[in-house]
Amino acid sequence: KGQGARLDSCIATHKAIMFRTLLAFCVLAAASGYSHGAARTPIARRSAMAKPAVQMAAADDFVPDMNRRVIMNALLVGATAVPGLWLAGGYAYFFLPAGAGGGAGGVTAHDALGNDVTKEGWLATHAKGARQLVEGLKGDATYLIVNDEGKIEDYALNAVCTHLGCVVPWNAAQNKFICPCHGSQYDNTGKVVRGPAPLSLALAHVNTDSGKVVLSTWTEKDFRTGLDPWWK
């Protein structure tokens, strides 16, 4: 019995030693694997990061050939030139005198509704001595005049005051144009008779041969003052 007990004890001790040895081996193996993986991780990361960098460097080093450069430059010039020319053309057109819509380089007068003014229609609704506004040269408010013979006068008056640009109304009771802004006054032909306006109202030629009322720029001397027209 004593020998059996000692044998059992030796076997138990041997098993314990084997278990501890195996456990220690597992721990070392795990530690070695972690250390090896950790050592490799930065290298792998650097390698992965290096690939896009190389690709980006390759993309940055790309230089288009001459044909592509020419095409790209042409597209750039066209994209900027078209809107630039369009704006420049509109700006220049603003300063050109109106020259469409009527004969002899004139424009057809329009009423308040935008309709063409005709000789027959105007005389049917306006009595002798009437001075009424139409849209004239450059879109300015312009007075058509019906004279004492019941005919449309051969000149029209720009209604814009020569002081600060107010539209001057006709005062039939006083037989003159009186500006409501600063009191400038013009006689029934548009000649300035009281300041602060420095100049008479601008004149325009009136032609009704076509049946429509056509206005054109007055370039001759001002018959009211004998001077060259200031509005040319």
Taken as a whole, the chain contains a residue count of 232
Q: What is the pLDDT of residue 38?
A: 47
Model confidence at 35: pLDDT above 90: no
Q: What is the pLDDT of residue 26?
A: 62
CA distances from 14 to 21, 26, 78 (A): 11, 18, 93
pLDDT above 90: percentage of residues in the chain: 53
Residue-wise pLDDT tens digits, 50-85:
555 545 544 555 565 677 777 877 887 777 777 777
Model confidence at 49: pLDDT above 70: no
3-state secondary structure the chain: CHHHHHHHHHHHHHHHHHHHHHHHHHHHHHHHHHHHHHHHHHHHHHHHHHHHHHHHHHHHCCCCCHHHHHHHHHHHHHHHHHHHHHHHHHHHHHCCCCCCCCHHHCEECECCCCCECEHHHHHHHCCCCCEEEEECHHHCEEEEEECCCCCECCEEEECECCCCCCECCEECCCCEEECCCCCCEECCCCCEEECCCCCCCCEEEEECCCCECEEEECCCCCCCCCCCCCCC
User: If we measure between CA atoms, which residue out of 139, 187, 182 comes closest to residue 163?
Assistant: 182
User: If we measure between CA atoms, which residue out of 134, 124, 182, 185 comes closest to residue 158?
Assistant: 134
Residue-wise pLDDT tens digits, 135-192:
999 999 999 999 999 999 999 999 999 999 999 999 999 999 999 999 999 999 999 9
What average pLDDT does the structure give for the chain? 79
Q: Of 26-40, 62-76, 96-110, 131-145, where does the model show the most confidence?
A: 131-145
Model confidence at 20: pLDDT above 80: no
pLDDT above 70: percentage of residues in the chain: 65
Q: What is the pLDDT of residue 73?
A: 79
